[in-house]
Structure 1
């Protein structure tokens, strides 16, 4: 009998090493060490037949196990090596379990670490891994010991021990699945402590072990590990992210209770579909495809009727995107009501990486949900509004990409009903622009033919004052412009029907914008609005000007300096160029109304300033048709004159300045006839003359220039009494603190002198001329030489009015001047004049 032969051979071996066995109890460590080495040499290193080895092992196991707690490290090391060899070579290693497992459990599974050497702890766990491998289901009765050891060693301070323990856990879970689940729970906590270890290799091992523990566990612990696994999707190490992807994919396919966890597992696997590493993306996509196909098989009856209907992609499917399979789509659709709130939570996480990842996931989910998005539109929009306020540009861009898909899959009547309501009454007043931002993206994803019937509804909303005039932040106006632009590009020539309202919105954006870039973009959009209708900018304005002026006139009674309407008027008038000259009958009553002296001062000031610009270029603006002159007398009388009347206060003075600039522009721009001016001269002159005394240097300057312009137009037609009221006021200005005003006053005096024609009797008016000459001669000796030169020119040119009087006055002051030079030049000029006239 072979067994008897083995027993005999085994007895021989044991007799040969009995002395060594006795030496294991000696106090001398060298003796013990030598004894162990000899036992190794005579047994496992001898190449004995396996049956013999089995018999020897049975007898040696107990004395060897005692050596596991030998005080000398070398002895313990050799012992573990010998036991490992035996386990590897004997035919029935499971026979050792009743002694081996309690001993390992006591030595390596205790609360305190009894084995100080990390290398030996590693060897012990490697031994355990081997035991699991070779004994398999025989380990079932030793579930407690094994779990105790792994609980300790998974959190061992030595990284290699952690890794080996995780490897061992995977093997153990697979070898005794029907017993493992009873105790699996107790490994979750140690694994979660290890899953964020600083070494990526340890993290990978912990993830793989977690996969096995949950797979073969009771299913109660999925929630305890999911958040930890989700964190690892942001791991810097691609290997770690790949491990998570593999584990989650495996659960989706094989976990017993997977149906109840789909809503938690699906987002994790889909997150990996947008990983930056292609290998991980491919792995995730492949596992996801498998999960979808498996679901289809398992639910065949349930989806039979849907099959044909679900196989053709929806119309307007995004180009270049591969449509997910039916099972994958159904997996998402059936879990959407639980996925949307979870995403809403994560997209506002404090970690940027989480927010970016979650926002990427949105588009993936929508591509699976397709038209089922409709049922979840309300929470989905709320989530997008919130996420679009993110400071991280990637988050916003990912959300807008998702919003575009809403436009693709949800019918316009459905999304417009909700979004337009949010646009008119934004709930979050700190970010009122988010509904517009989302609207622009959703419209961009819609199909042209489906959007067309709703164009009017969208434009009617955008043009409402509470939408387009309520907020002045640049961000808000940018989003409003984005909505208009997307409509122009989506509906092109169909925009003709809403052209007026679109123009009103674009005018408003320009009028409220404080950012020149945004204003320029809005003007480009006005040009595009003209282009899609085959018009140019002026034709567009010509087509709508009547309605634009009606639109503005409707509210003119309530305008103030804060009203957007006066800014809108400004944009309309400055952009429409010559077109405005065709609509004076509508414009003038509007201007008349908002420039009455009882209206807001700041508003009047800005309107006058704008009008001054237009009047200076009257031929290309207000007077392009030559009709402004029919209005200018009324404008002068009813608008400008009342605004030149003096009132106390700084703002009132500023209004007068702006009205003067407007008057000057009117006189210069040629839009008033001399006849019209003459009929109003009596009322106008006193107001301009009193303006010569204003505190504001600009007003005094404008008044001097206005007098010059008036004298140029009608000076020669004025009555001598009217003329004689003018010069004394101008003379006062020759002493003005401003050099510019003095110069302008002298120019006006020169024009006054050249206005004295036949109707002015120099003898009768000699006292006036004498006063004028005396004052001018005073300044012929001015400290400023440029004034002297200018005065000399004025006197030379004016000397012909009454040469003898001027000569007398000049001779009288010649010797009082610091230098007689200028006086002599003047007298010389007068004597030449005499000779000249006597020759005639």
Structure 2
């Protein structure tokens, strides 16, 4: 071999080779000794072979004959420096040798011995990390120089790589990945027999903590499978899928690039389309634009290539290309090849996605949910045949706590609305709602409606709104999420159908009233009010109150049909309260529904909590009577019913705190009725005749509010009584008011004093004052006691009452005052009173 190598050399080169051989012959025997000094002769060998005067051509002869065998033995030398120099010289020899392939039979077994692991748990023979890296680099050089000649030695090379791929040193692993890829490319006809044995160590390394190692593993795996056994795709898919969650962009890009390359060039790629397509399309939603762009570009190439390969099969579709469906999303439509690839593999892809979209790992759910709309956008109307399983999956996924999952699922539902006929998807979705109403079903319906074209949805508008207005749907839950999604359905209908909604405004009003009633004073209630304004706009009325006026009758007629069975927890009660409080003037146009309902629900035998709520609402309506309950001036028609059938029974004393609370509510309602301008003087007098005894009784209530309001009501009764009141009834009023001057509440005492002042004025205007003289004398005495009250405000109020009363019997008041002035802590108020009486008498 040496002779052949030297046969073509020039005489000068032959001479230099001979000289080098003599030098090496003199140095190399020292390498056989066990002394470190002898082994250090390697340094001189290195100088001789790499020095400035060394001729690379002269090195070719001595290389295989003298140097290679000894250098391979030195790979196991105890001295690390000798092993390093031996590796360096082997690298040099391979680069300078005329036929490096001749070294393979001896070099590869030696490298394998140093790199391979005798057992998986044991480390390789070479302990030094830097030397292992150098050995792998030497192996890589061998692969590049050996090329196809490596085929007989594949077993040794693969064994060495299997050990190096699991090396603790990250740089060794990276270099091993590059070497594995180079080996696959160098021996394409034989590598498939050994490729599977590299998959396991590669997959062990794919989750390495260094991102550069992960990238190298992914790229090497792509090449190993590309030139190896395609069956290994199944072994790496799950690992590649996990790398799509990697925090490092370069790792995700590597997966995208490798998978795209397989889809384009893998020999058996048609068998793996349904497994590889989801991996590539998952990168469509990557957070980095570069990755998304790479995935889009590769996918388009895949589609175009498949389109060309199957041109005969797609001839009709290519020649007569169908236009995009109406209402197509604002994105570029994928090429025909891409759409066909997804459609033909959708039945195999969907089950896995439907499974993963409800996985316990959040990241898996998010990725699967993001992939689904990408697939649906490609499948277009072909998703109809898979609609049932898709809707079942969306129903579960839309209940997810992860917002990203829900967002992607609503996007999928919108695409269903775009590509599927409403007749088809409504049959399934409304069936879901009838069976088990849920917030996720409502969210799906809202999203489907949002994606559906207006003209396609219009014929089904009445069916949808009627179903939504049904009690088993609209009243199925008081949960905020459920109500929000119910409202979302209405918003979607109004947004998509616009003026078409006028044919179903009543049903939509019922749903909105329900949402507002169940949500209460929350942000959701505000959204419902805004939606009602939008509904009014498409229904060609100025605002929501005009919408109420338009549909108030039918609304109340439906709501009050069951009022005899209402309790405080009845949804219909909440709806009724919402309607009569928010409809404004419209409530005054439907008193024929409102008052009978109130009369029935405010009976003393009904739920007390319901009565309290309704009394509170009735009071607020009466306080704004012109803008609400008396907007048409018709309330007085029902006054007798309100007084005798509602107020009188509830003012009757009954034992218990609940009954006391209801009496207080009834008194408050009476106060609103009498203090507003809804009644004429004659009507107030009629109310007084019926209710005065009941109101006097409420002056003894335990609740301060009831006593205070009763004093104010009596004051109003006195101011409007004129001379029509029966003296026997009139004289019974002041003792009850006098008692309230001893009340624990100063507010009640002040109100009682004000009522007594009005009572005295009524006597001044009445005939037969002498009839009241004994009562007035008693009143003087009692008031003079309170003129010495510790509270100055009460003293001032009582003084005003006495000054007013002095007009009746001044001499009597003077005698009574002079009789008690010495008993008072301070005579100031008594003196002021006497001075007032004297001044009044002088003025007359």
Instruction: Using structure 2 for the length normalisation, give the TM-score.
Output: 0.93
Residue 210 of structure 1 aligns with which residue? 221
1:431-442 to 2 correspondence within 5 Å?
Answer: 432-442=438-448
- The CA deviation at 1:738 is 0.6
Q: Please give the per-residue CA displacement for 1:72-113, whole angstroms capped at 9, x wherever unaligned.
A: 223322322333233223333222222222222223224242
Q: Identify the match of residue 373 of structure 1 among 366, 383, 386.
A: 383
Who is 1:559 aligned against? 566
Aligned position for 2:368: 358
SS of equivalent residue, structure 1 residue 568: helix
Once residues 406 and 138 of structure 1 are traced to their aligned partners in structure 2, the CA distance between those partners, rounded to angstroms, is 58
**Residue matched to 2:512:** 506
Structure 2 CA distance, aligned partners of 1:374 and 1:309? 22
Q: How far apart are residue 184 of structure 1 and its match?
A: 1.6
Deviation of 1:560 after TM superposition, in Å, equals 0.8
Is the CA contact (8 Å cut-off) linking 1:615 and 1:669 kept in structure 2?
yes
Q: CA separation in 2, counterparts of 1:820 and 1:93?
A: 133
* CA–CA separation in structure 2 for the residues paired with 1:203 and 1:615: 76
Q: Distance in 2 between matches of 1:672 and 1:245?
A: 81
Q: How far off is 1:637 after superposition?
A: 0.9
Distance 1:496 1:651 in 2: 46
Q: State the distance in 2 between where 1:32 and 1:731 align.
A: 126
Show structure 1 runs of 5+ residues with no match.
none
**Distance of 1:516 and 1:479 partners within structure 2:** 15
Q: What corresponds to 1:159 in structure 2?
A: 170
- Structure 2 residue 347 is the aligned partner of structure 1 residue 337: yes
Structure 2 residue aligned with 1:142: 153
Correspondence 1:626-645 to 2 at 5 A: 626-645=633-652
What pairs up with 1:318-337 in 2 under 5 angstroms? 318-319=329-330, 321-337=331-347
Quick one: distance in 2 between partners of 1:69 and 1:575?
94
| Matches of 1:136 and 1:410, distance apart in 2 | 56
Give the secondary-structure state (helix, strand or coil) at the position aligned to 2:723.
helix
Question: Which of 654, 657, 667 is 1:660 aligned to?
Answer: 667
Q: Matched residues in 2 for 1:12 and 1:518: separation?
A: 97
Distance 1:324 1:281 in 2: 15
SS at match of 2:312: helix
Shift of 1:128: 1.5
Task: Give, in angstroms, the shift of residue 718 of structure 1.
Answer: 0.2
Counting only pairs closer than 5 Å after superposition, residues 661-700 of structure 1 correspond to structure 2 as 661-679=668-686, 681-700=688-707
On the 8 A contact 1:436/1:479 being kept in 2, the answer is yes
Deviates more, 1:669-678 or 1:154-163: 669-678
Partner of residue 418 from structure 2, selected from 404, 408, 411: 408
SS in 2 for 1:116: coil
Partner of 2:731: 724
Quick one: which of 274, 281, 284 aligns to 1:270? Answer: 281
CA distance in 1, matches of 2:83, 2:102: 22
Q: Which residue of 1 aligns with 2:403?
A: 393
Could you tell me how far 1:455 is from its partner in structure 2? 1.3
Closer/same/farther in 2, CA of residues 140 and 758 from structure 1, 3 Å limit: closer
Cα 1:620/1:273, change in 2 over 3 Å = closer
Quote the Cα distance in structure 2 between the aligned partners of 1:717 and 1:342.
88
**C-alpha spacing 1:790/1:300, structure 2 compared with 1 (3 Å):** same
8 Å CA contact 1:292, 1:327 repeated in 2: yes
d(CA) in 1 for partners of 2:709, 2:764: 26
Q: How many residues align?
A: 831
Change (3 A) 1:330 1:795: same
Q: Which moved more, 1:9-18 or 1:400-409?
A: 9-18
Check the 8 A contact 1:54/1:92 in 2, yes or no.
no
1:214 and 1:48 mapped to 2: Cα distance?
39
After superposition, the C-alpha distances for 1:382-402 in whole angstroms (9 at most, x for unaligned) are: 333333344443333333223
Once the two structures are superposed, residues 648-704 of structure 1 have per-residue CA deviations (whole angstroms, 9 ceiling, x without a partner) of: 111111111111000011111133344444445454122111101110010111111
Kindly provide the CA deviation profile for residues 610-659 of structure 1, in whole angstroms up to 9, marking residues without a partner as x: 11111122222222222211211221011110011111111111111111
Pairing partner for 1:230 from 225, 234, 241? 241
SS of the residue aligned with 1:335? helix
Match of 1:382 in 2: 392
Q: Once structures 1 and 2 are overlaid, which stretch shifts more, 678-687 or 737-746?
A: 678-687
- Deviation digits for residues 422-462 of structure 1 (CA, Å, limit 9, x no counterpart): 334447xxxx3222222222211111111111111111122
- How far apart are the structure 1 equivalents of 2:28 and 2:212? 42
Decide which of 731, 736, 742 is 2:743's aligned counterpart: 736
Q: Does 1:621 align with 2:628?
A: yes
C-alpha deviation, 1:370, in angstroms? 1.1
Question: In structure 1, what is the equivalent of residue 76 of structure 2?
Answer: 69
Deviation of 1:233 (Å): 1.9
Query: Which shifted more, 68-77 or 203-212?
Result: 68-77
Q: C-alpha distance in 2, partners of 1:800/1:775? A: 17
Deviations 1:167-224 (A, max 9, x none): 1101111222332222222211211122122222211111111112222332332222
C-alpha change, 1:729 and 1:3, in structure 2 (3 Å) is closer
Partner of 1:200: 211
Q: Is contact 2:164–2:176 with CA below 8 Å preserved after alignment?
A: yes
Corresponding residue for 2:655? Answer: 648
Flag structure 2 segments of 5+ consecutive residues without an equivalent: none
- Correspondence for 1:520: 526
C-alpha RMSD of matched pairs (Å): 2.5
Contact 1:273 1:281 in 2 (8 A): yes
Cα distance change, pair 627–17 in 1 and its aligned pair in 2 (3 A): closer
